[in-house]
């Protein structure tokens, strides 16, 4: 296993690569020379420079883009917190394999390889309202699954998830690590009615009370109140940092999955961007907490990496301009008067 | 010419096609059957249904996408309202032809054909602070150029522009037709300094005063206070409506160009979506006035259809899901409990 203990993860986070400032500077200088007013491509410029930093290359590439979708099941589903039965997690994994889901279409369009990784679907986590969701071994095993999913030579990693009831788990992590209670973090997910939403909030409040002793320890919270697919996302984001691979995070659940990492160390998410802001009500607040400015805002709330998958297209646009545009000198275009 | 008088345009707008409700309904029903919680693809669903309405087809296509970039020169440039010399308009047209501009890279990535249409660059409009920018013949000729640029069989039209000083012209149209004065509509464009911004606002205020007699007549305003590339955009948007072709508008200037049409008739822009909201400060307010909700918000302010060009990629994502996803029945996935 990549990590033998929770302390191993904390240790890993103390000595992180920080990207290549020289390549970022070179990319920024290149942007200034291209035939456009300085800054006029807005975030497309920033994205090109960010990719340059993490790929350590003035003109980055997106030849190998990996979308990793992790799937898990959740004991808290028994509390009636989702509009869908738990069997849907496995049914959707089969749908991914058959190519019928949204992310299959988006991955093909975006030129990405899709890796779908179900994690012990026949062993849901324990219901965290009455017990720890996982023990440390179970958590580390799921982190390891995520870590090993990331190809060392990927140009970009996109992380997403599938798991009935996992917006409850995501709300749980946020409530435990960021405060504000269930009302701030629990929303309608795939579309629960008012009664379902009330059950969801009650589950989070019950668990907050049950686990209050551990709530200052990020990895302890991720273990006792998290989920396997969320742990795998954290593992994948750690592997990406090790290999200096830039990352696009998907929606509320995928973002909540990295909150424990963000709490371990400042700058832990510097290699990540938020692909989009979801319609799930708490996602915008969570991104603000983490200082992440989403690339897209399309009222999507599907998960399965669909929002971040669409955002790959924006990175391709950023690089197309960065790599392909003429400079003022090449094109014989006059610069600004000033 | 397509229109022999301004009244011809008004008449055209009285009898507009409204798209195919049957196809839109069929597309909406299809979205409900796909393997995702209803509504969870957010705007991607709405976009698929909108394309279905205007293409009169349950499963729309984007086989022929035309990006039209119109270029013009502006007499008001003599007032020192831009950071760039007027020669840059023609230099950038050459850059488009050589494939070196941002829109060239974006068009290739998005699978679109790029049509660049310079309009009488050697004859700038007259300085509207002291004279009408165009007479009716000049305006109608530019509208006609735009109208004829649109292929009848296009699946999507994207409109953009290039023209040194044309954010001043765009601010002029907005101030004359929507009120609020120069301070509301004139911003920094390609990047003027404080003194340039003051000159820009002074030019708009001077012209508002000079032309106050015509300010209630949308096409009169478009003639006396507009520009050739803006008139051509209006013409292209009219042609698209005639042929029921959906349209993506680019930034502040392209949106200002259709304000006269919007003022002629309610629903005139139903076949249009705003590709993005620009960093040019007045664009957000203008979109709100027109009831257009932009697809992207990336701090871009380049023009030349670059923002809307990137938004083509979102339409492709919308259609990839709409056309390619499995239904619940096909995939054997359970629906919601409710």
What does the alpha-carbon distance between residue A46 and residue A48 come to, in Å, rounded to a whole number? 6
Contact B317 A313 (CB under 8 A): yes
Contact B27, A285 (CB under 8 A): no
What is the length of chain B? 338
**Contact B317/A at CB under 8 A:** yes
Name the residue with tokens 């279409």: A105
Average pLDDT value over all residues in chain A: 96
Task: Chain B: give the shortest CA distance to residue A200, in Å.
Answer: 16
Contact A337 B102 (CB under 8 A): no
Whether pLDDT at A338 is above 80: no
Task: Give B335's Cβ-side CA count (13 Å radius).
Answer: 9
Task: Give B214's Cβ-side CA count (13 Å radius).
Answer: 20
Contact B321 A105 (CB under 8 A): yes
Over residues B85-100, the mean pLDDT reads 96
Buried (b) or exposed (e) across B140-164, using 16+ Cβ within 10 A? bbbbbbbbebbbeebbbbbbbbbbb
Task: List, by residue number, the catalytic residues of B.
Answer: 304
**Contact B78/A at CB under 8 A:** no
Residue A217 has what DSSP assignment? -
Over residues B180-203, the mean pLDDT reads 94
Average pLDDT value over all residues in chain B: 96
Contact A40 B295 (CB under 8 A): no
DSSP states of B265-301: -TTTTTTEEE-B--SSTHHHHHHHHHT---SB-----
Task: Chain A: give the shortest CA distance to residue B327, in Å.
Answer: 8
Task: Chain B: give the shortest CA distance to residue A296, in Å.
Answer: 7
Contact A300 B108 (CB under 8 A): no
Buried (b) or exposed (e) across B184-221, using 16+ Cβ within 10 A? bbbbbbbbbeeebbebbbbbbbbbbeebeeebebbbbb
Percent of chain A at pLDDT above 70? 99
- pTM comes to 0.98
Contact A87 B337 (CB under 8 A): no
Handedness of CA B140, B143, B147, B149 (dihedral sign): positive
- For chain B, which residues make up each domain, given as ranges? 62-316
Backbone angles phi, psi at A158, to 5 degrees: -120, 125
Tell me the pLDDT band of A337, cut-offs 50, 70 and 90: low
Tell me the pLDDT band of A191, cut-offs 50, 70 and 90: confident
Residue B253: burial class (beta carbons within 10 Å; 0-12, 13-18, 19+) = buried
**Contact A300/B at CB under 8 A:** yes
Q: How many CB pairs under 8 A join A and B?
A: 206
pLDDT digits (tens, 9 = 90+) for B294-317: 999 999 999 999 999 999 999 999
Name the residue with tokens 């607040």: A285
Whether pLDDT at A12 is above 70: yes
Closest CA to B68 of B138, B145, B8, B132: B145
pLDDT digits (tens, 9 = 90+) for B38-56: 999 999 999 999 999 999 9
Distance set, CA B231 to CA A12, B15, B146, B154, B183 (Å): 60, 20, 7, 20, 24
pLDDT digits (tens, 9 = 90+) for A241-261: 999 999 999 999 999 999 999
Distance set, CA A101 to CA A66, A106, A228, B34, B36 (Å): 17, 9, 21, 8, 8
Contact A35, A315 (CB under 8 A): no
From the list A34, A42, A92, which residue is nearest B279 (CB)? A42
**Contact B97/A at CB under 8 A:** no
**Contact B325/A at CB under 8 A:** yes
pLDDT digits (tens, 9 = 90+) for A131-169: 999 999 999 999 999 999 999 999 999 999 999 999 999
CB atoms within 10 A of CB B288: 11
Backbone angles phi, psi at A253, to 5 degrees: -70, -45
Contact A324, B104 (CB under 8 A): yes
From the list A40, A92, A295, which residue is nearest B301 (CB)? A40
DSSP states of A197-209: HHHHHHHHHHHHH
Task: Chain B: give the shortest CA distance to residue A154, in Å.
Answer: 21
Tell me the pLDDT band of B214, cut-offs 50, 70 and 90: confident
What is the length of chain A? 338
Name the residue with tokens 């795939």: A190
User: What fold does the segment set B62-316 form as a domain?
Assistant: Rossmann fold (3.40.50)
Structure token pair of residue A193 = 């009615």
pLDDT score recorded for residue A165: 97
Cβ-based contacts of B38 with chain A (< 8 Å): 191
What does the alpha-carbon distance between residue B77 and residue B84 come to, in Å, rounded to a whole number? 9
Contact B320 A98 (CB under 8 A): no
What does the alpha-carbon distance between residue B225 and residue B204 come to, in Å, rounded to a whole number? 10
Tell me the pLDDT band of B338, cut-offs 50, 70 and 90: very low
Contact B298 A326 (CB under 8 A): no
Distance set, CA A76 to CA A91, A191, A217, A258, B241 (Å): 19, 17, 21, 20, 52
**Contact B306/A at CB under 8 A:** yes
């Amino acid at each position: 296993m990549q990590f033998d203990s929770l302390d191993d993860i904390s240790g890993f986070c103390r000595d992180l690569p920080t990207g290549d400032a020289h390549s970022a500077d070179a990319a920024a200088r290149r942007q200034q020379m291209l035939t456009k007013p300085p800054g006029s491509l807005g975030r497309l410029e920033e994205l090109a420079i960010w990719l340059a930093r993490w790929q350590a290359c003035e003109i980055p590439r997106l030849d190998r883009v990996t979308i990793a979708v992790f799937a898990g099941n959740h004991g808290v589903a028994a509390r009636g917190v989702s509009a869908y039965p738990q069997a849907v997690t496995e049914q959707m994994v089969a749908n991914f394999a058959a190519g019928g889901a949204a992310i299959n279409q988006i991955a093909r369009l975006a030129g990405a390889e899709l890796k779908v990784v179900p994690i012990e679907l026949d062993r849901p986590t324990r219901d965290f309202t009455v017990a720890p969701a996982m023990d440390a071994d179970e958590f580390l095993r799921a982190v390891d699954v995520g870590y090993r999913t990331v190809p060392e030579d990927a140009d970009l990693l996109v992380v997403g998830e599938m798991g009935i009831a996992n917006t409850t788990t995501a709300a749980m992590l946020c409530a435990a690590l960021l405060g504000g209670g269930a009302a701030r973090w629990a929303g309608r997910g795939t579309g629960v009615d008012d009664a379902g939403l009330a059950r969801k909030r009650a589950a989070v409040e019950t668990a907050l009370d049950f686990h209050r002793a551990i709530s200052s320890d990020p990895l302890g919270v991720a273990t006792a109140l998290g989920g396997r697919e969320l742990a795998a996302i954290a593992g994948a984001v750690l592997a990406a940092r090790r290999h200096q691979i830039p990352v696009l995070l998907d929606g509320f659940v995928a973002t909540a999955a990295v909150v424990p990492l963000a709490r371990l160390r400042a700058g832990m998410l510097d290699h990540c961007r938020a692909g989009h802001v979801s319609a799930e009500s708490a996602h915008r607040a969570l991104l603000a907490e983490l200082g992440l400015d989403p690339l897209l805002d399309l009222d999507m709330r599907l998960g399965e990496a669909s929002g971040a998958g669409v955002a790959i297209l924006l990175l391709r646009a950023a690089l197309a301009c960065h790599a392909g545009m003429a400079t003022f000198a090449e094109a014989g275009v006059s610069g600004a008067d000033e």
